[in-house]
């Protein structure tokens, strides 16, 4: 265990055996224990996971597939995290420590800690690439070593130290900036820089102290990737990931510097901290713009920590909205689901659900509205955003906890999905997979020039001109107005189009629509066509993330207006 006399950036209670005894016995930690036990049973109880093979590693370079190799890679990370935490909770049981040390040994044996998708080449041997997961692995091993200490055999501890030095510290020190992510503005910047910084705080504090200005410059850049309103353009999942690691870094740095550097005093950080609670629409359904997901939850420890920092700004919903460990078993956040859990916040949150609210974000050009009957989100912005999708004017309508009209969120991650030449062939990334018009057979174009203009937030409406997003000279105006009623939303489009071909009004859903006489039933919602004489047509697309359904209204040539209601 950590020597209490040593100054450590890890929260003090991590060194207290009494705390871990409470975690293993107190009812309030049952959610943490249950998820930990499930993770152990599924990934570690049978011993060391299957090997990571070259034939699976090179699949990314031959077919674009990421899933086979990554499946084994993350199973091993889940084994590492669960075995380490079980060793802390049950120090008297040797089986957990045995699996932990065997897993650490295998991780140290890996050719690279980097994923093939980020390795970029297989012509030359190179195990020094620091990507998201290499940096996370170094941080996890450093923290496990700090927590378990002399319970680990000397050779295991020495291997951890050697591998971190060779795979993380030496490559990072060899050049500045190490990589694009050090001066980037997205989740990579926070995860990679934060993990490297935290690793060095634990393993080489003198070097870490010297590098603080470098770390801080990088984190300043990360924060510029959010709007001043706190919007995460990459989507809520990447907020939890990137801002989660930023929070861990900022907390450790504050401890490491005895409070001299406190990132939580920054007003923008406070704004960003309240982002997640605002994107819930109905139940767990949420705004899924960019590579987001239709359903969201919060990371238990992270949300509690932020609530303690910003009690008047951050909200915590019922524990049923929370999780302790994500699918990649990110050790620092899983660990802090226990370390950062606040008993009073936990008890006060029981039964607390997202209530009616309205959020307007002029800089990001987002509008979010929750009522007792429905939830709504729409966006303007540009088609050059992080994890970009061509989605200017896209909107979501949720009811009874489910998206009825949806933004499809992320497609299946492959090499092709992140290739700029192929990305917009994916339905999820193209405007054809969003609830926006198709103009003369043409879709929106990607790039910063393709954007919303004349965005207006009015008393009971949100409107914007989508025409610039299409880059079609004959399209002079495409003004979309959302008007809110007690029961739903009216969508009205006004056109100024002199080109060839018709305009198709498209509505996108994951639920198979049913056409009735005067409406289209989509789950628990009904889509009413207000403009007369235009019949709906239903089709579907077998997209990479699953079937997406389209409800299309093909307008007569020369149409100047279309109106529909969803309720």
pLDDT band at 3 (very low <50, low <70, confident <90, very high): very low
* Mean per-residue pLDDT, 80-102: 97
Helical H segments across 132-291, by residue range: 132-148, 154-164, 170-174, 187-188, 194-203, 205-210, 212-224, 236-238, 244-256, 267-273, 275-278
Question: Does residue 31 or residue 5 have the better pLDDT?
Answer: 31
Answer whether 489's CB lies under 8 Å from 536's CB.
Answer: no
pLDDT of residue 262: 97
Q: What is the mean pLDDT of the chain?
A: 96
pLDDT band at 433 (very low <50, low <70, confident <90, very high): very high
Backbone phi and psi for residue 173, each to the nearest 5 degrees, phi listed first = -75, -15
Give the whole-angstrom CA distance, residue 120 versus residue 479. Answer: 43
pLDDT of residue 11: 80
pLDDT band at 48 (very low <50, low <70, confident <90, very high): confident
Given a cut of 60, whether residue 310 has pLDDT beyond it is yes
pLDDT of residue 144: 97
* Mean per-residue pLDDT, 214-242: 97
Query: In the chain, which segments carry CATH 1.50.10.100?
Result: 12-349
Q: Which CATH class is domain 357-566?
A: mainly beta
Give tens-digit pLDDT for 469-488: 999 999 999 999 999 999 99
pLDDT band at 2 (very low <50, low <70, confident <90, very high): very low
Give tens-digit pLDDT for 336-392: 999 999 999 999 999 999 999 999 999 999 999 999 999 999 999 999 999 999 999
pLDDT of residue 7: 52
Pick the CATH number of 12-349 from 1.50.10.100, 1.10.10.10, 3.40.640.10, 1.10.357.10: 1.50.10.100
pLDDT band at 464 (very low <50, low <70, confident <90, very high): very high
Query: In the chain, which segments carry CATH 2.70.98.70?
Result: 357-566
* Mean per-residue pLDDT, 261-287: 98
| Percent of the chain whose predicted confidence (pLDDT) is above 70 | 99
| Percent of the chain whose predicted confidence (pLDDT) is above 90 | 96
Give the whole-angstrom CA distance, residue 503 versus residue 526. Answer: 22
Backbone phi and psi for residue 435, each to the nearest 5 degrees, phi listed first = -80, 70
* Mean per-residue pLDDT, 158-171: 98
């Amino acid at each position: 265990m950590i020597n209490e006399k040593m100054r450590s950036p890890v929260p003090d209670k991590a060194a207290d055996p009494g705390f871990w005894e409470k975690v293993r016995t107190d009812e309030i930690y049952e959610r943490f224990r249950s998820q930990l036990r499930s993770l152990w049973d599924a990934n570690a109880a049978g011993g060391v996971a299957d090997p990571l093979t070259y034939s699976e590693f090179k699949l990314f370079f031959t077919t674009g597939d990421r899933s086979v190799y990554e499946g084994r890679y993350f199973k091993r990370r889940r084994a590492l995290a669960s075995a380490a935490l079980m060793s802390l909770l049950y120090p008297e049981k040797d089986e957990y420590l045995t699996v932990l040390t065997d897993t650490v040994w295998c991780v140290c044996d890996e050719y690279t800690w980097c994923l093939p998708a980020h390795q970029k080449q297989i012509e030359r041997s190179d195990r020094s690439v620091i990507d998201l997961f290499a940096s996370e692995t170094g941080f996890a091993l450093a923290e496990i070593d700090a927590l378990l200490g002399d319970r680990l055999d000397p050779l295991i501890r020495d291997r951890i130290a050697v591998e971190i030095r060779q795979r993380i510290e030496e490559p990072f020190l060899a050049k500045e900036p190490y990589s694009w992510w050090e001066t980037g503005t997205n989740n990579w910047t926070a995860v990679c820089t934060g993990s490297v910084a935290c690793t060095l705080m634990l393993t080489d504090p003198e070097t870490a102290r010297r590098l603080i200005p470098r770390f801080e410059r990088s984190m300043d850049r990360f924060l510029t990737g959010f709007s001043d309103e706190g919007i995460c353009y990459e989507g809520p999942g990447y907020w939890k990931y990137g801002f989660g690691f930023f929070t861990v870094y900022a907390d450790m740095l504050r401890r490491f510097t005895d409070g001299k550097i406190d990132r939580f005093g920054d007003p923008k950080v406070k704004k960003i901290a309240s982002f997640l609670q605002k994107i819930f629409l109905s139940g767990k359904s949420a705004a899924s713009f960019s590579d987001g997901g239709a359903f969201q939850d919060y990371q238990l420890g992270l949300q509690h920590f932020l609530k303690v920092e910003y009690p008047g700004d951050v909200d915590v919903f019922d524990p049923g909205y929370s999780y302790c460990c994500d699918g990649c078993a990110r050790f620092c956040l899983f660990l802090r689901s226990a370390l950062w859990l606040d008993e009073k916040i936990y008890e006060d949150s029981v039964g607390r659900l997202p209530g009616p609210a309205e959020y307007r974000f002029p800089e990001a050009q987002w509008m979010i509205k929750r009522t007792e009957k429905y939830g709504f989100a729409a966006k303007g912005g540009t088609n050059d955003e992080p994890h970009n999708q061509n989605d200017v004017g896209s909107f979501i309508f949720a009811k009874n906890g489910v998206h009825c009209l949806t933004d499809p969120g992320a497609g299946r991650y492959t090499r092709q999905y992140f290739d700029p030449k192929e990305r917009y062939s994916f339905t999820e990334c193209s405007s054809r997979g969003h609830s926006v018009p198709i103009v003369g057979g043409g879709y929106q174009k990607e790039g910063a020039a393709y954007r919303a203009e004349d965005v207006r937030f009015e008393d009971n409406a949100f409107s914007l001109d989508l025409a610039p997003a299409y880059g079609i000279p004959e399209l002079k105006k495409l003004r979309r107005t959302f008007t809110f009623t007690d029961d739903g939303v009216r969508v009205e489009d006004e056109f100024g189009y002199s080109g060839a071909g018709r305009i198709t009004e498209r509505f996108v859903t994951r639920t198979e629509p049913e056409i009735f006489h005067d409406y289209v039933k989509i789950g628990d919602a009904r889509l009413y066509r207000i403009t007369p004489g235009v019949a709906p047509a239903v089709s579907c697309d077998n997209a990479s993330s699953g079937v997406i359904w389209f409800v299309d209204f093909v307008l007569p040539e020369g149409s100047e207006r279309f109106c529909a209601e969803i309720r």
